[in-house]
Structure 1
Amino acid sequence: MRARLLCDHHARVANPIRFHAGQQVAIGVRDEEWPAFAWVNTGQGHAGWAPVAWLRPVGDGQAEALRDYDARELVAMQGEDVLLHHEHGGWWWSERADGTQGWLPAADLELLDDTTPPLPAAQENLP
């Protein structure tokens, strides 16, 4: 599936949280704006929002990661077409034409069908 950016999107976090399946993490409060996410601390100096559904509580505020996770957001510009891999909690794991991957908010995307042509590439001012 493909989508087109309705506005520019810039990463909000310089050093996003990452963890691996089986890793123990501390789980905190849920995000009010994005309720599918909770504040997670890896115990290695990294903390951030992560999908609650991808964590299995093991007691005392701890959880085990059920799968690998990377909170990296994709930097993309308005009008750019991206490939969509999977959606979770209002965010899509997306891929730019250059292969760069990361999360984009679903609200910033226009879903395209297979018949939607790509936008023409920006053309330089030629004499």
Structure 2
Amino acid sequence: MKRARVVVAHHAPEHAPIRVAKGDTVTLGERDIDWPDFVWTTLAQGIGGWIPSTLFDRESGEAVAQDDYDTRELDTEVGEILTLHREQAAWWWAENARGEQGWVPARAIEFIEENPA
């Protein structure tokens, strides 16, 4: 697994994360201005959040999720070391030393070169 050092602190938004399951039908709205790969997604329950558009079978309107997704973001501080699990739309699913996991923007981290044994 890749490791990275936080170079810009990241703090999750105040609202609760949402989860989409493969096969869920949602309504897609506007694209995010700062993160154009993300689309405002409204769940059947009426709650919404930003989710990568590549997760869905179409670009707008009613769409079906092609995979599971959780919008949880990870609070980080400069200098913190993270383990990176996967990348999507310029964000990394990361884990800190306490075992907490969530998304962090790629622009907030720098990769750590692993020394070969």
- Whether the TM-score (by the shorter chain) exceeds 0.5 is yes
Paired residue secondary structure (1:73): coil
- Residues 88-118 of structure 1 deviation map (CA, whole Å, 9 limit, x = unaligned): 1111111112211100011110111112xxx
Deviation at 1:33, TM superposition (A): 1.3
Q: CA deviation at 1:7?
A: 2.5
- The answer to whether structure 1 residue 46 and structure 2 residue 47 are counterparts is yes
Q: Shift of residue 14 of structure 1?
A: 2.3
Question: What letter is aligned with 1:2?
Answer: R
2:35 matches 1:2: no
User: In the alignment, which residue of structure 2 is the partner of 1:34?
Assistant: 35
Aligned residue number for residue 91 of structure 1:
91
Cross-structure match for 2:79: 79
What displacement does 1:8 show? 2.0
Equivalent-residue separation in structure 1 for 2:70 and 2:5 (angstroms): 22
The amino acid of 1:75's aligned partner reads D
Contact between 1:17 and 1:49, CA under 8 Å: does it hold in 2? no
Q: TM-score, normalised by structure 2?
A: 0.90
Give, as a single letter, the amino acid of the residue that structure 1 aligns with 2:4.
Answer: A
Report the Cα distance in structure 2 between the residues aligned to 1:91 and 1:46, rounded to whole angstroms: 22
Moved over 4 A (4+): none
Counterpart-to-counterpart distance in 2, 1:13 and 1:40: 17
CA–CA distance in 2 between the matches of 1:7 and 1:34?
A: 17
Instruction: Answer with 83-92 or 5-14: which moved more.
Output: 5-14
Structure 1 residue aligned with 2:66: 66
SS in 2 for 1:57: coil
TM-score normalised by length of structure 1: 0.84
RMSD of the alignment, in Å?
1.8
Q: Which runs of 5+ in 1 are unaligned?
A: 116-127
Partner amino acid, structure 2, of 1:98: R
Identity of aligned residues (%): 43
Q: What is the Cα deviation at residue 45 of structure 1?
A: 3.0
